[in-house]
């Protein structure tokens, strides 16, 4: 998994999964300036890999979790959006598990992953989404709805939810579900949405929620090297891309 690095105009970007180990040297970041979720978004889940990586996802059906493709793949170190090949290979489904507890590190495994559905091709830009098919239905949690027709506009307020740290310091803590409302959309592209400060590494795959409907309008793909400050940015794959994968996984 790649670290969160500088967001530059040429789109030399990397993904934002993070190591879930506790310690001073790991870079694991989450919702910035947020608050403990405390049950507000139970369908937002943590994804753990056998190697100890941590990502975020959203339950969109009892057996389906929506996340970022780079969370379930090996990728190049820097994502150049002009390059054709950004994904080197996909992780085996058996190496992935889902935690629904608000503490991703202490909570028990809720389900294992039986199958992964990803887009065709080897690009992440505009296509950084994946659907995990679980080995059991999580019927105790109401899934989040996906709004594949929604097109956020510049200036719109959105809500972000994810696991990990809340800033750039590796001492900020990791693995707790946090949320922040009032995050602003700063740009809209064909298949991507760009927002300001609010997310960081470890939020990879988290859902971008419409502030009015609570529905998913994007999946977190990548972001800037620093997570705190007015120049912090995050790039989200639009929900229309994700919906095609959900339909294929059903």
Percent of the chain with pLDDT over 70: 86
Which tokens sit at 131?
Answer: 């659907």
Work out the mean pLDDT of the chain and round it to a whole number: 86
Distance separating alpha carbons of residues 109 and 17, to the nearest angstrom: 19
Q: Please check the confidence at residue 5 and state whether its pLDDT lies above 90.
A: no
pLDDT tens-digit readout, 150-172: 889 999 999 999 996 677 876 77
- Per DSSP, the three-state class of 147 is coil
Comparing CA positions, the residue from 58, 66, 50 lying closest to residue 1 is 50
Distance separating alpha carbons of residues 240 and 38, to the nearest angstrom: 29
| List of residues 6+ apart from 8 with CB closer than 8 A | none
CATH T-level fold of 42-143+242-249: Thrombin, subunit H (2.40.10)
22 C-beta neighbours (distance < 10 Å), count: 12
> What does the domain layout of the chain look like in residue ranges?
42-143+242-249, 157-239
pLDDT tens-digit readout, 125-138: 999 999 999 999 99
Please determine whether the domains at 42-143+242-249 and 157-239 fall in the same fold group of CATH: yes
Q: For position 16, what pLDDT does the model report?
A: 52
SS3 content of the chain, % helix, strand, coil (to 5): 5, 40, 55
Percent of the chain with pLDDT over 90: 68
Q: Please check the confidence at residue 210 and state whether its pLDDT lies above 90.
A: yes
Query: Cα-atom radius of gyration of the chain, to the nearest Å?
Result: 16
Average pLDDT over residues 226-248: 93
225 C-beta neighbours (distance < 10 Å), count: 16
Distance separating alpha carbons of residues 68 and 223, to the nearest angstrom: 13
132 C-beta neighbours (distance < 10 Å), count: 28
**pTM of the predicted protein model:** 0.88
Q: For the domain with range 157-239, which CATH number is right: 2.40.10.10, 3.40.980.10, 3.90.110.10, 1.10.260.40?
A: 2.40.10.10
Q: Please check the confidence at residue 236 and state whether its pLDDT lies above 50.
A: yes
Q: Please check the confidence at residue 122 and state whether its pLDDT lies above 60.
A: yes
* Residue whose tokens read 């990879």: 204
Q: Is residue 202 left, alpha or beta, with left meaning phi > 0 and alpha meaning psi from -120 to 50?
A: left
Q: Please check the confidence at residue 9 and state whether its pLDDT lies above 70.
A: no
pLDDT band at residue 240 using 50, 70 and 90 as cut-offs = very high
pLDDT band at residue 17 using 50, 70 and 90 as cut-offs = low
Q: For position 212, what pLDDT does the model report?
A: 93
* Residue whose tokens read 């594949």: 148
Least confident segment among 68-72, 99-103, 118-122, 201-205: 201-205
């Amino acid at each position: 998994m790649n670290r969160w690095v500088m967001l530059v105009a040429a789109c030399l970007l990397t993904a934002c999964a993070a190591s879930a180990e506790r310690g001073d040297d790991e870079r694991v970041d989450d919702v910035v300036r947020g608050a403990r979720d405390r049950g507000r978004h139970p369908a937002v889940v943590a994804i753990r890999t056998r190697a100890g990586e941590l990502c975020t996802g959203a339950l969109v059906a009892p057996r389906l979790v929506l996340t970022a493709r780079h969370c379930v793949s090996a990728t190049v170190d820097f994502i150049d959006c002009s390059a054709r090949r950004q994904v080197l290979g996909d992780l085996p489904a058996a190496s992935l598990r889902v935690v629904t507890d608000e503490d991703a590190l202490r909570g028990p495994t809720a389900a294992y992953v039986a199958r992964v559905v990803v887009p065709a091709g080897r690009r992440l830009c505009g296509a950084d989404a994946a659907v995990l098919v679980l080995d059991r239905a999580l019927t105790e949690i109401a899934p989040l709805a996906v709004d594949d027709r929604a097109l956020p506009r510049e200036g719109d307020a959105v809500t972000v939810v994810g696991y990990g740290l809340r800033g750039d310091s590796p001492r900020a803590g990791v693995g707790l579900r946090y949320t922040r409302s009032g995050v602003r959309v700063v740009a809209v592209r064909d298949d991507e949405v760009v927002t300001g400060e609010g997310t960081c590494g470890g939020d990879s795959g988290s859902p971008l929620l419409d502030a009015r409907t609570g529905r998913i309008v994007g999946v977190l793909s990548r972001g800037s090297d620093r997570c705190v400050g007015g120049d912090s940015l995050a790039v989200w794959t639009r929900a229309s891309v994700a919906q095609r994968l959900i339909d294929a996984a059903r």
